[in-house]
Structures are given as C-alpha cells and as structure tokens.
Structure 1
Amino acid sequence: MKRSAAPSARTRVRRLPARAHYDAQAVHAIVDEALSCTIAFEWEGSAHAIPTAHWREGNHLYVHGAKASRTMKALPEVQACVSISLIDGLVLARSAFNHSMNYRAVVAYGRFERVDDPAAKLRSLEAFMERIAPGRWAQLRPVTRKELDATTVLRLALDEASAKIRAWGPKDDAEDLGWPVWAGVLPLEIARLAPRTEADSAVQEAPQAP
C-alpha cells in the first residue's frame, strides 16, 4: 500500500510531488535493484559525495569499507544523505524543453551506525556477497580475523527515506503533437554480459547469472 505522507520534512518531494512514493516497499525495491549509492556528508569543513556499493537487510541499508578510510570514520559522527538512481529510459518529446528520463530514485537521510559485533559483521558481509553472486560465499577462502578487523561495516535505517518514480512517455504541449518528429521512449537497462575468466583461475567454468 502506498503511503501518502513523507516520513519527515526533508524527505518530502516538493518538485512534482505526484511522483513521490513513501512506502517501504517502493523504497526497498529500488535499493535492492541498484548496485551502488552515493553518500553525501560534511566533514571537517568540506562537503563530500562518495559513491559506494551497498546492500539491504530488512529496513537497513549497509555499506562497508576500509577501517582507515575517512568515510567510514566520518559517517557514524555526522548526518548523511544517501541517493540512489536507476535510469530506465530516455524520453524523447517533440520539443527540447519536454524531453525527460524515466527513472526510479531514492533519497534517505540519517546517521550511520557501526556493526561492531564480529559475528554480525561477518553475516552482513556474507549477505553482501550472496547478493552479488548467490552461492559464492561458501566457495571462497574463509575471511581471516585480520581481514574482518580491517573492515568497517555501517548501516543506516531506512526510516527517513522517499522514492521518486517516472515511468511514462513524453508529455508534449497540445500544439506540438503534430510536429513531424519521432516521439517516444528509448528504454535502458543494465545487462550482465559474457564472463571473462582469468587465465590462471583454478576453475574455468563461470558462475551462472542469478
């Protein structure tokens, strides 16, 4: 069921609010399909926007990185804004002004928290790997304690998030409808291509796409 009210003032979609979706189902679906997000935050007097891989467990968005990285140190201390976008098509109209894109986007706000428990951290990293390549975690050389200690896992509750979606053709002015130019949508998608196996790989058969 689509929730009509924004969870907070800063998540309320002001530009074209009819495209807004505030329910968890819409937000989670976009988070799950996207492979990366961008995290914006202010740290030591400077603004930063860092792209990174992410995954979701329940109502939390997870990221990971080197324990020594500036981003991993900063995020638990400051408010952050996470943005995700999926471009589904180029919308070609009869005037340059009315061209657009079909997209699905999420913006979430809040403060990240560290996952400090080693067992919980390991389970989260397994969930990340299983999202990328189901079944692979069990095939890999086990993670060492040194590797686990060198890795920071953070999570952000998706309580303060909104989605914005456009999924239709061009909206031209009535007087432009007869203009002699093609109008419509050029669909776009991310596709998995043929695997490229390393020459020294002990196993030559690539995993099947999920």
Structure 2
Amino acid sequence: MTERPPAHAPSTPPAPGADAPLQPTERSTVRRGARRARTERADLHAVLDAGLVSHLGVVVDGAPRVLPTGYGRVGDVLYLHGSTGARSLREADGTQVCLTVTLVDGVVHARSAFHHSMNYRSAVVHGAARAVTDPQEKEAGLRALTEHLAPGSWDATRRPDRRELAATAVLALDLAEAAVKVRTGGPVDDPDDIAAAGDRVWAGVLPLVTGWGTPVPSGDLPVGVPVPAHVLRRATGGSTEATRS
C-alpha cells in the first residue's frame, strides 16, 4: 500500500476569516516576480470566480497526476467533483494536493525573445483535499459547481437524484493556503534593446479576449422553446431579451 503524506502540512495556516489577507507559507510564497504577488483575499476570489477550469495535482502510485476539472466556490472552500470510480479523486481524499487556475489576458511582444511574456491572473492553492460525505454539504457543493459553470441552472433544471449522487464524488479544498500572481502592462525591455531596435521592431501587447457566442439549441429540443433568461444573461452580457430556437 502506498504511504500517504500527512493530511496537513506543518506550515498550513488556520482557516481564514472572510476578509483576512492571504498569509504566505513556505510553499505559497511567490519568489519569482514577487512584485506581482497579490495579498488580498478578494484578489484570490476574483481569479477563481473568473475562471472555469482548474488543474488539480495529486500523487497517484508515487507519481504526479494533473487533471483539468471544473469547480465551484462557497466562501473560502472550493468544491470539485467527478465519478466515484475516478482513482485520482479517491487518492486525493486526505492528502496534500495543489490546485491552479490561470487566466491569460494577452501576449506581450518585446524587442527581444527573452522578454516576451504574457499578461495573466493566476491562483495556486495548497491543502488537504477532503471527501464530502455530509448530504447537505454535498448538495451545496454541487450547486456551487453548477452555478459557477452555468449560472441559474440549478433552479431551472432537475436536481441530481439518489443514483446520480451515489455515483458522484465531491471534494472540498480550503483556501487557507493560497497564492495569487498577476501581470499587467507592456514589455519590460532592456534599454540597449530599445535603442537598437528603433522603429524596426514592434513591441506591445496583443490582448486575448474571450466571449460567449449565440446559444445553440439541442437537436432534440422542440421548435419554439425560448432560450431562458439565465442563459441569455451570460450570452449577451446582461440583456435578457428572449430568442427562440
């Protein structure tokens, strides 16, 4: 049997208050580009709330395994889910994991290849994952996951039944130990490169912009069923004028 690491690293801080700033630990301290570190818990929440996909790192059979997964946040707890048959989720329960969320806002073009970069917002969370067994917390976690992915859908659709709940594993990860790093602005070129390039080399930022498209109805949807308001709000950035399939 593979020996598991302790559930809590010695450096793990206690659960934070809602407005408590981030408290860097040995493993969550930003060292490279430390000036880009953010210390407000609101910055952590903002990155997590803006993202849709996280990457969960867990050790399976002594080797790292990193999996993309959706998530939802309730206060300072993240909830992840998957099949009860997924070994990675079973291995994560009670062990130290690392979860990351990254948003790319643009590509930074510099006058040298060395100084090319990206504008980004990123969060890294360390901690012991916990399998959620309490039925009420499990439902709350699944609601948070659903609402993060598709706001308004929890109340507009059928809730998970007993069979589906039994087939679904939910993990909780506290946000007590986390780091946030953000880069904005243009290239940071060396003065010699700026002088040498003159007007021959373009430098600046190519923004990366993402957005929602027009809702596409399911092929088996009856003709005339309108797109619901909660879908339209996201697709149109706030407008709720209904359209029909």
TM bucket, shorter chain: over 0.9
Deviation string 1:15-71 (CA, Å, 9 cap, x unpaired) is 111111132111111011110111112122222111111111100111001111112
The answer as to whether partners of 1:22 and 1:161 remain within 8 angstroms in 2 is: no
Cα gap change, 1:62/1:142 in structure 2, threshold over 3 Å: closer, same or farther? closer
User: What is the CA-CA distance between 1:2 and the residue it aligns to?
Assistant: 9.8
d(CA) in 1 for partners of 2:136, 2:100: 29
Aligned length: 209
Match of 2:11 in 1: none
Match of 1:205 in 2: 226
Q: Which amino acid aligns with 1:141?
A: R
Residues 1:172 and 2:189 are matched in the alignment: yes
Larger Rg: 2
Question: Any stretches of 5+ residues in structure 1 without a counterpart?
Answer: none
d(CA) in 2 for partners of 1:2, 1:159: 10
RMSD of Structure 2 on Structure 1 (CA): 1.8
SS across alignment from 2:143 = helix
Residues 1:43 and 2:64 are matched in the alignment: no
SS across alignment from 2:158 = coil
Question: Any stretches of 5+ residues in structure 2 without a counterpart?
Answer: 1-18, 235-245
Cα gap change, 1:2/1:173 in structure 2, threshold over 3 Å: closer, same or farther? farther
Higher share of residues assigned strand? 1
Instruction: State which of 134, 156, 178 in structure 1 corresponds to 2:151.
Output: 134
d(CA) in 2 for partners of 1:110, 1:84: 15
Cα gap change, 1:2/1:91 in structure 2, threshold over 3 Å: closer, same or farther? farther
Match of 1:76 in 2: 93
d(CA) in 1 for partners of 2:159, 2:71: 21
User: What is the CA-CA distance between 1:138 and the residue it aligns to?
Assistant: 2.0
Match of 1:156 in 2: 173
d(CA) in 2 for partners of 1:135, 1:66: 23
d(CA) in 2 for partners of 1:94, 1:208: 43
TM-score normalised to structure 2 length:
0.80
Cα gap change, 1:190/1:59 in structure 2, threshold over 3 Å: closer, same or farther? same
User: What is the CA-CA distance between 1:201 and the residue it aligns to?
Assistant: 1.4
Cα gap change, 1:88/1:75 in structure 2, threshold over 3 Å: closer, same or farther? same
